[in-house]
Structure 1
Amino acid sequence: MDEGLDDHVRALFATAPDEFVAARTELVKALKRDDRRDDAATIAGLRRPSWIDGALNRTAAAEPEPVAEFVDAARAARRIQQADAEGRRTASLADALRTVRAAQARLAKVADTALVGFGRKADLAGVTARLAQIGADPVGLELLRAGVLGIGDELAGVVVTDDTSEPGVTSDTGESGDTGAPNADDDAARRKAIDAATRAARSAEKDAQVAATAARRAAERRDRAVAAVEAAEAAVRDAERVLEQARSELAEHETRAADAERAADEAAEAASDAAARLDDLLD
């Protein structure tokens, strides 16, 4: 890939997914006009990202701060978890995971707003679940940072230039890496640390699933409530129309009844006059 093409790729993946194909086509045409046919073929092979990935890519381009906060927190938690698994004392994994969850929640809200900006329904649960998946993948974290989620493995290494490895963490004594041949106590401590880290990871994953489920159910309840309010409002409007029509019909019937009563009075008076005249004639 020629130098500078990664900027075009980032801009392409920041477009709304329903505009991705048209933007890709225009970029391919521009590259062909510049006689960059290899790059044009590469771009032509890119696939449209999902709506959620598109919202996250747009967020990375427009508001990189919450993205960087989440990526850095997730990588720090992974380093601490790895160090704990190796039996080295580092910062609190529980505190690191709480930081990740807080950053994840903030980023999810921003990305959900971007999703709505695409004309889609809000899906905070889906965004949260996707971030949980990305947080467990070092490459995915850097694709998120670059704003190119969905780019595919073949170009990930070209666009993402940051180190996706998980370097060791310095211990409290200032040393890192191997400190000599392990003994039985070291092995026991390492196994204990691995067990603790595994439980913490499972607990964090469970918390993320519970949060995603709760958010999804809350969204479903909200949607049902909105539908119920809309139905009730429609019913009220229908009832108001029926009431207005009934009032109009009542007024019309009252007018007709009054007219009928007047006609009846007039007919009775005419009949009385006719009877009186008949009586006069008979006399």
Structure 2
Amino acid sequence: MTAVEADAGRLKGEADEPGWEVDPDDEWGVAVIATVGRQLKLRREAVGMRAAEFGTAVGYGEDMVYKIEGGKRIPRQDYLVRADEVLGAGGLIAATWEDVKRVRYPKRVRELAKLEGLAVEIGVYECNSVHGLLQTPEHARALFEAAQPPYSPDDVERMVAARMARQAVFERDPAPSVHYVLEEAVLRRRVGGTMVWRQQLEHLLEVGRLRSVTLQIMPTNTDAHPGVDGKIELLKFPDGSAVGRSDGAFSGRPTTDPKQLRILELRYGTIRAQALPPRESLVFIEQVLGET
């Protein structure tokens, strides 16, 4: 059921209306959304419908219609499908979703998802929070809602959706080899409350049992290790190239320099060696889950 059907024709207020603001620094995104908006406006005017009338027909406010047609707002799929029906476009407007969906998330997130989608091996050490590829929607939402200054509800939903879309990496065939090391403290932080926290732990157990995933826990009572300076990420690609980043090295910027990558690999390898083995790590998560 679409949002329009669920609301039974009730016009949504500005705060409720689906669609996301366009990032003015995202040139490709701006161009795509401006083109789609222009097509919508031309077709609406061609059938002689005013913006207010069209908005009522598709179940959205007049202001949202103007924003989408002006390339200021990214429409969601249900808007395009309903617009196609109202304007009798024969599927041409609905088909623009194939272009819109490629730019619906922030440019930085799209670039990260592209790298993760190409990688044959992903290695991550995380000390402050559950890594994005391992988060449940509720956990991700709680983290975004805790940000200061606060994000708008619309931005929160956009970022949650973007984060969940990245998790398609686990569905690839063949799947990449993915390695995670999480600090024990990450498991014990009750982000979003007890229920959300328990669901997150259960999700970690589920992902940790995938054949393509190796999940390890670093106990709090361990000795110092190379990850105390912060997060480490390593992505390796089919052609033998790689990219890495560490909060505690190279100013936190991504690097493809072979010498710097060897340093990150050495640090990450040492961290994995000090962490609990995968099977013991899953048992450890179960124990934390059982403490509630």
Which one has a bigger Cα radius of gyration?
1
More helix by share: 1
> Of the two structures, which has the highest relative contact order with CA contacts closer than 8 Å and spacing of 6 or more?
1
* TM-score normalized with structure 2 length: 0.25
Using the size of structure 1 for normalisation, the TM-score is 0.26
More strand by share: 2
